[in-house]
């Protein structure tokens, strides 16, 4: 594979298996990636789809069983040290020491990375200020809120200002305010020239941040493109309904399915319902409200717009993207980390 100066990450045919007892699972099954420098690439899929395994292979924490990958032109196997010197990684769980203060965690990392004396302190102060943690720097990390922990974790991964940053589900479990803070940080990093590979199971997150999105399911990349391209690929539009009575949503979904011929998506809002409009079904949209009215189902809000990423995932996989999936694509991880 010939490295391209315009690509920060290149991968071809990545494969990774995990073995637990007599069972072997193919967590990643032939993934190809081409991520331009200075962009955000979103890898979208439920837990168990292979997202974390892809990131760990690119970050040199796991050796691919097959295929090749380069980060900034460096092979992740043959030139692992060069890759590690240029990338940062923030995983799904906090990697800092909870018994140390935020300042102590960052100082320790700064010194490990070669900062000395006042230079180390200046770097730590700059990071604490950038992430809004100056006042909390003297407190133990175990006293931090979930959003503060994610921010100190991100700060730790940026001590050396990496050119490529891997963010593995960085906002999982955060409240909306903390999630928006992380999104703002990602945008600033990209404005400063970093390349970000973001894994997420949140459709809105991919929509908000990613220049391009790859949809991964069962270890395979099943679709790729901009948010608009992916949405357009599944149909001409989507209808969004808000019902007066949440208890009748299942009944409403059945009626919408019958009229449009597509399987509706049920968001977490119990009053909401969306459905994709197929290319040959636009003329049926006008019949949705009358059909619901005949059944006595009140619809205070109705809109027609572009399909959401929910519809994209449902169309591609035959099932909606779960909101809270606690599975893992890396069984027996502790046994597989040896290189």
Q: In this predicted model, what pLDDT tens digit does every residue of 38-71 receive, in sequence order?
A: 999 999 988 789 999 999 999 999 999 999 999 9
The answer to whether 98 and 125 have CB atoms below 8 angstroms apart is: no
Identify whether 2 is part of a domain: no
The answer to whether 289 and 253 have CB atoms below 8 angstroms apart is: no
Alpha helices in the chain (DSSP H): 51-58, 80-86, 102-112, 117-130, 146-157, 176-191, 203-209, 227-233, 249-260, 288-294, 309-317, 333-336
In sequence order, which residues have a C-beta less than 8 Å from that of residue 13 and are 6 or more positions away?
A: 30, 31, 32, 66, 67, 68
Shared domain check, 221 and 254:
no
DSSP state, residue 63: -
- Report whether pLDDT(281) > 80: no
Shared domain check, 218 and 254:
no
State the pairing for strand pair 7-20/66-71. Answer: antiparallel
Choose among 271, 276, 338: nearest CA to 307: 276
Shared domain check, 160 and 302:
no
Identify whether 53 is part of a domain: yes
For residue 94, the model assigns a pLDDT of 65
Measured at the CA of 29, the angle between CA 24 and CA 34, to 5 degrees, comes to 150
Mean pLDDT of the chain: 87
Q: Categorize the per-residue pLDDT at 2 as very low, low, confident or very high, splitting at 50, 70 and 90.
A: very low
- Report whether pLDDT(18) > 90: yes
Q: Categorize the per-residue pLDDT at 320 as very low, low, confident or very high, splitting at 50, 70 and 90.
A: low
Mean pLDDT on 213-225: 93
Least confident of 61-70, 143-152, 176-185: 176-185
Strand partners, 33: 11
Shared domain check, 154 and 194:
yes
Shared domain check, 112 and 248:
no
Q: Categorize the per-residue pLDDT at 106 as very low, low, confident or very high, splitting at 50, 70 and 90.
A: very high
Least confident of 51-60, 87-96, 237-246, 270-279: 87-96
Shared domain check, 265 and 124:
no
Domain with 54 in it: 7-230+326-336
- Report whether pLDDT(288) > 90: yes
Tell me the backbone φ, ψ of residue 59, rounded to 5 degrees. Answer: -90, 5
Shared domain check, 63 and 20:
yes
pTM of this prediction exceeds 0.85: no
CATH number of residue 301's parent domain:
3.30.70.100
For residue 121, the model assigns a pLDDT of 95
- Report whether pLDDT(337) > 70: no
For residue 52, the model assigns a pLDDT of 93
Measured at the CA of 41, the angle between CA 161 and CA 272, to 5 degrees, comes to 125
For residue 65, the model assigns a pLDDT of 97
In a 3-state reduction of DSSP, which class is residue 115?
coil
For residue 268, the model assigns a pLDDT of 81
Shared domain check, 241 and 200:
no
For residue 100, the model assigns a pLDDT of 96
CA distance 240 to 8: 38
pLDDT, greater one: 290 or 331: 290
Identify whether 313 is part of a domain: no
Number of domains in the chain: 2
CA distance 157 to 182: 13
Shared domain check, 62 and 166:
yes
Neighbours of 176 (CB within 10 A): 9
Write the DSSP string, 168-190: ESTTTT--HHHHHHHHHHHHHHH
pLDDT, greater one: 242 or 329: 242
- Report whether pLDDT(12) > 60: yes
């Amino acid at each position: 594979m010939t490295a391209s100066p315009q690509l920060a990450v290149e991968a071809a045919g990545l494969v990774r298996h995990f073995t637990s007892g007599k069972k072997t699972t193919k967590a990643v099954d032939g993934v190809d990636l081409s991520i331009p420098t200075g962009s955000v690439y979103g890898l979208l899929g439920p837990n168990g789809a292979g997202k974390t395994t892809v990131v760990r292979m690119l970050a040199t924490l796991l050796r691919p069983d097959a295929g090749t990958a380069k980060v900034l032109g460096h092979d992740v196997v043959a030139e692992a040290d060069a890759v590690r010197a240029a990338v940062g990684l923030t995983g799904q769980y906090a990697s800092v020491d909870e018994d140390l203060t935020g300042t102590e965690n960052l100082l320790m990392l700064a010194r490990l990375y070669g900062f000395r004396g006042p230079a180390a302190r200046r770097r730590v102060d700059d990071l604490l200020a950038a992430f809004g943690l100056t006042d909390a720097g003297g407190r133990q990390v175990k006293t931090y809120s979930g959003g503060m922990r994610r921010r100190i974790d991100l700060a730790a991964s940026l001590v050396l200002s990496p050119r490529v940053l891997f963010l593995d589900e960085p906002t999982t479990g955060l409240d909306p305010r903390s999630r928006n803070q992380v999104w703002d940080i990602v945008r600033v990093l990209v404005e400063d020239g970093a390349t970000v590979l973001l894994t997420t199971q949140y459709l809105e997150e991919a929509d908000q941040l990613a220049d391009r999105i790859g949809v991964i399911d069962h270890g395979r990349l099943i679709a790729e493109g901009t948010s608009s391209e992916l949405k357009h690929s599944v149909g001409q539009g989507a209808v969004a309904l808000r019902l007066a009575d949440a208890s009748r949503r299942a009944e409403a979904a059945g009626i919408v399915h019958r009229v449009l011929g597509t399987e509706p998506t049920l968001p977490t809002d119990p009053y909401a319902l969306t459905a994709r409009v197929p290319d040959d079904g636009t003329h049926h949209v006008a019949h949705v409200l009358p059909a619901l009215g005949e059944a006595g189902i009140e619809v205070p809000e109705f809109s027609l717009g572009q399909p959401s990423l929910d519809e994209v995932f449902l169309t591609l996989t035959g099932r909606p993207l779960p909101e809270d999936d606690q599975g893992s694509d890396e069984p027996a991880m502790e046994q597989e980390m040896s290189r």
